[in-house]
Structure formats: C-alpha cells, structure tokens
Structure 1
C-alpha cells in the first residue's frame, strides 16, 4: 500500500515504520505525503488504541532528504511539500491513539519534530537527537516550534532551535525532550512494554484526557504550521540556505551572512 512507510496492526497496537533504511529514513516528498495520508486514515481508526512510531534500519529518521532538495532535474516543490508536512503534523497530534516514538540512531530535523509530536518518547542512550534546521539556514517544520514549546516553554525552545546542536538521549531527557532513555537496542522492547501497560489501564479515560488537552491547542498549531510553511518557503530562497546546503555537500563549515 505504501512505498516508504509500513503500517502493521497487531490487535489494538499499531506499528508505523519509517521504511527508507538505505537513506536512514530521510524524508523525501513521497514519504511526507504517505505519512500525512496514513495519519489521516488513522484518525478514523477505532480498532487501534496505541501507535508505536519507529524507523527501519540504522536510524529513526535523518530528517528531510537533502539529496532530493538539491536535485536539479526534479527540484522539490517546497509549497506542496509543506502542505503535506502540515497535514502529517496536525493529524499525528490529533490521533485518537496513544502515540509512542521509539528512537534509535538519528532523529533529526523533521524526524525529530515527528518524535516530539508523540505522547511518549523513548530514546536509546546512544541516539542522536537534533532540531538542526538552522545548520542549513532553515526553520523547524512539522510543527517543530509548537511541539518544542509545548515540552520546554518558549525561552528554551528558542535556545534549542537557534543552537541546532545534536543531543545524546540523556541530555535530551534532562532538557525535557524525551520521557525515557533505554540501553542500546532496547527502545522497541520498552515501547511495546509501555503499550501493554496502556492497554491494561483505563485507556478510554486517558484518550479522553488527551483529546481535551489537544483540542485546546488545535487553533494554535494551525497558526504555527501556516507560519512555518511561509517561513520555510522564504528561507529556501535565502542566500544562507543555499550556502548551508553547499557547505553540507562540500563537507565544510558554512559562511553565513544573515541574508
């Protein structure tokens, strides 16, 4: 059904796999569209009560696919892509399931935004978490501003966005960005244990609380997604972004000028 992701249902628990392992699950235009479509389908799914989001292969997700961003023959249509990114973020945030991110390897850029949108975040101790858009002159998308601010507040969210640094799991937990740190290779096991714990609890009541708390914020999330889309479209045309991408490809330090 999908080319870049896989949805597996096991009773009341669903597993959503980001499935481009050769690219460290970097998100190309198709993956963003398929994620948006899949999450929107799950909005109507009454059979699943818990959803575990994880990555196939060596990483959760390395973020947006820079190779596709730079492809001169088929340049990424940023406005179309941002519509899909906004759809996936809103649908994920409003899912009528308890969502668990099970992170191993890298969770960067949009991959980190998706993890932050989940209700419970589990990261293996050697995983690398980064809101690293700033490194190529872009702003967080996928609701990254909103989800960061919800977890840590505005002043800390700004610091994390502006620094763009890569955090190990324990550092991320100290900042309030993840809920649980596990040993290497154990994130999925812990996610499944948490799912079982949820299934054995008064889950309808928990989901009703999630619904009440999240519905309060939908209007704000919509505004943030609109602003992110407009800002990303503008930043994609900036000199700093072009320099950031070029420096990334040439494996050198970028020289930004604020333009």
Structure 2
C-alpha cells in the first residue's frame, strides 16, 4: 500500500515506519492520522515482521497535531473524525504483535510524544524536545497519552508533566523514566537499528508472547482512556481557553487563559 504522509519499508523481519511531512515537522493532519491508523492496523496481521522502528523524516520526530489545520477556515479539522483516527493509532500500536522502537530526534510533542510513549523501547537524542504540551493550547493529552504516561511513570508524575507541559531533553526524559536510551545527536536511528538487530537475534517469539500477556491485561483500560480522552477533547475544543491557545500560537505570543 502506498501513502502520502508516511512511508513503510519492510526488510525481512524488520519494518521501518517513517512520518513524512518534514516541511511541517511531521505534524499530524487528518490524512496522516488516518494513514498511520491504517498502516498500524495492517501490521497487526503481518506474520513476518517481528520488529518495527518508528521515526520521523527531516528535523523532528513529530511536532504533534497540526495546529494550523485546526484553524484553517477553508478546511476545518473534523474533531470527531480525527479522534477516531487518533484512538485507532493508539489501540493498534499497543496491540501490535511486533517489538516497537521509537527513534526520536528533534521534537516529539503532543500526539507525537503520545505515539513515542506507546512504543516498547524509546530511544531519544540528547537534544530532543519531548513534551506532553497539550495544555499550552487548552487541550488534554490524546492518543492514550494519559495511559502511556501512567504506565511509564505513574499517576503523580504524569499529572505534573501534563499540567506543566514541560519540555524535556533526552537526559531529563531518561532520568524520569520516560525513555529507555539517550544518544548523541544524529545517532537515534543507528541505535534503533542496533537494538532491532539485537532483538532479532534473540528468542523474539518468547518476547512477543510476554508482550501479549502483559498488554492484554490492560486493553480494557486503554479503551476506556481513549473513550474519555475523545469526550474531553471534544469539550476542550469548544472552550475559550483552547481558542485563545491556538490563536496565540498562530500569532506567536503568550496566551492569556481565563480558565474557561
């Protein structure tokens, strides 16, 4: 299958999925979200691929949702359709029968960070900018951001990161348990390939069986979180704070939130 906003390359038991909107820092418009969901769902039925590397083309992993598309008067983003795609991405990613590796360079923000957190093994370059920064535009995390953060670092620290929207570099993210490896600049892809090779030289079928057992126990919780995120996001999209947040982003100024 061919895609417009992503690429998928299979090399035997290894597949490489690349977000491919480099001019927009791989921010996710509705088409990319749909293509990612379609691609990941197709991989669920692939019986040959055992390891998947996810990375971004150009200077970033992904800057998150495409804010410019949110405010485009000629083609407004359909939030209901978008949230369906976002939920499909998270559910498919979590239930993939492959070992998933995120190779992060540059920004991994918002939905882009949620997707990275959904991977089994996360590698980030030292100067990466990782942030669950939905709060900056008056939104809640989606793409199972709440679920993946809680799984990685627990509820108290998850709330801190969500509420602050703090941007972390690779070393900070490693210290907080958000990622598994930090590398020098320009080395995330090399480290991801090396890790993938080690997995492929291991009894990977046993690894995947353990992943299935552990993840199956959490699928119902994941589905509930996705349902709640979708409802909350639809409500937040109508809020005055969200409208102020995206307008301030477009105008490159500090937002003035009113708590409404």
Per the TM superposition, whether the score is higher than 0.5 is: yes
- Runs (4+) of structure 1 exceeding 6 A deviation are none
Partner of 1:153: 154
Q: Is there any run of 5+ residues in structure 2 with no aligned partner, and where? A: none
Report the 3-state secondary structure (helix = DSSP H, G, I; strand = E; otherwise coil) of the residue aligned with 1:25: coil
Alignment RMSD, CA only? 0.4
Return the offset for 1:121: 0.1
Return the offset for 1:145: 0.2
Report the 3-state secondary structure (helix = DSSP H, G, I; strand = E; otherwise coil) of the residue aligned with 2:33: helix
How many residues align structurally? 259
Partner of 1:238: 239
Q: TM-score, normalised by structure 1?
A: 0.99
String of CA shifts for 1:109-148, please: whole Å, max 9, x gaps. 0000000000000000011001000000000000000000
Structure 2 CA distance for aligned equivalents of residues 163 and 174 of structure 1: 17
Structure 1 CA distance for aligned equivalents of residues 24 and 91 of structure 2: 25
Q: TM-score, normalised by structure 2?
A: 0.99
Structure 2 CA distance for aligned equivalents of residues 185 and 254 of structure 1: 34
Structure 1 CA distance for aligned equivalents of residues 253 and 204 of structure 2: 50
Structure 1 CA distance for aligned equivalents of residues 228 and 196 of structure 2: 34
Return the offset for 1:165: 1.0
Return the offset for 1:253: 1.0
**1:78 aligns to 2:74 (yes or no):** no
**1:145-224 map, 5 Å:** 145-224=146-225
Return the offset for 1:252: 1.2
Structure 2 CA distance for aligned equivalents of residues 255 and 3 of structure 1: 37
Partner of 2:93: 92
Report the 3-state secondary structure (helix = DSSP H, G, I; strand = E; otherwise coil) of the residue aligned with 2:214: helix
Structure 1 CA distance for aligned equivalents of residues 36 and 246 of structure 2: 25
Report the 3-state secondary structure (helix = DSSP H, G, I; strand = E; otherwise coil) of the residue aligned with 1:166: coil
Return the offset for 1:218: 0.3
Report the 3-state secondary structure (helix = DSSP H, G, I; strand = E; otherwise coil) of the residue aligned with 1:181: strand
Structure 2 CA distance for aligned equivalents of residues 87 and 102 of structure 1: 21
State whether residues 68 and 250 of structure 2, in contact with CA within 8 Å, keep that contact through their aligned partners in structure 1.
no
Structure 2 CA distance for aligned equivalents of residues 257 and 65 of structure 1: 24
Report the 3-state secondary structure (helix = DSSP H, G, I; strand = E; otherwise coil) of the residue aligned with 1:74: coil
**1:1-259 map, 5 Å:** 1-259=2-260
State whether residues 103 and 123 of structure 2, in contact with CA within 8 Å, keep that contact through their aligned partners in structure 1.
yes
Report the 3-state secondary structure (helix = DSSP H, G, I; strand = E; otherwise coil) of the residue aligned with 1:27: coil
